[in-house]
């Protein structure tokens, strides 16, 4: 491949990344202005709305540091968007679920961002390509040491 061709492919990849990054910035700005939450907070609220879940289950299923997850849940609780209560099956476990205020926010907020994949039909091959592209991006962008 000639260096000119490679440069074009590199610029196209950079343009696509910038488009995605700018879309996330604008999406988060919209969420903060209209709904008072960030994209990560909204995504967590959507996941929690699927069924009551324990903090331990969340830690196992999400690629988040436990302290970061705890801070996120604490912030949602302070905002009145989630409740934490003891599990009826095991009082040592804490269940987290949206409050009525949290559910109203979910009904009003747009369904966008990565968590949208849980709610919209998508071709399995396309999802596999997307996952592979994100893995490639971590490696090609030199971010492996900061990924979990």
| 94-107 pLDDT tens trace | 889 999 999 999 99
Mean pLDDT of 110-119: 92
Q: Above 70 in pLDDT, residue 5?
A: no
Q: Above 50 in pLDDT, residue 44?
A: yes
Look at residues 77, 84, 91 and name the one whose alpha carbon lies nearest to residue 55: 84
Average pLDDT score over the chain: 90
What are φ and ψ of residue 33, in 5° steps?
-70, -45
Model pTM?
A: 0.83
* C-alpha span between 131 and 46 (Å, rounded): 21
At residue 1, the pLDDT reads 47
At residue 60, the pLDDT reads 81
* DSSP H or E stretch at residue 45: helix 39-50
Mean pLDDT of 127-147: 94
- Domain assignments of the chain as residue spans, ordered by start: 37-146
- List 84's β-bridge partners, or say none: 96
Mean pLDDT of 38-64: 88
Q: Above 90 in pLDDT, residue 87?
A: no
Tell me which DSSP letter residue 88 carries.
S
Our CA angle for 83, 85, 88, nearest 5°, is 140
Q: How confident is the model at residue 77 (pLDDT cuts 50, 70, 90)?
A: very high
Give the CATH fold of the 37-146 domain.
Arc Repressor Mutant, subunit A (1.10.10)
Mean pLDDT of 62-88: 90
């Amino acid at each position: 491949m000639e260096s000119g061709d490679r440069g074009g492919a590199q610029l196209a990849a950079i343009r696509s990344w910038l488009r995605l990054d700018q879309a996330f910035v604008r999406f988060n700005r919209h969420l903060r202005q209209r709904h008072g939450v960030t994209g990560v907070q909204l995504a967590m609220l959507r996941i929690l709305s699927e069924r009551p879940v324990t903090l331990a289950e969340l830690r196992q299923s999400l690629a988040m540091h436990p302290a970061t997850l705890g801070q996120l849940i604490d912030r949602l609780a302070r905002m009145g968007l989630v409740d934490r209560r003891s599990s009826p099956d095991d009082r040592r476990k804490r269940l987290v679920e949206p409050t009525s205020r949290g559910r109203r926010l979910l009904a009003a907020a747009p369904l966008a961002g990565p968590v949208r994949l849980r709610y919209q039909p998508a071709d399995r091959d396309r999802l596999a390509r997307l996952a592979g592209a994100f893995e490639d991006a971590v490696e090609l962008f030199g971010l492996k040491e900061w990924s979990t």
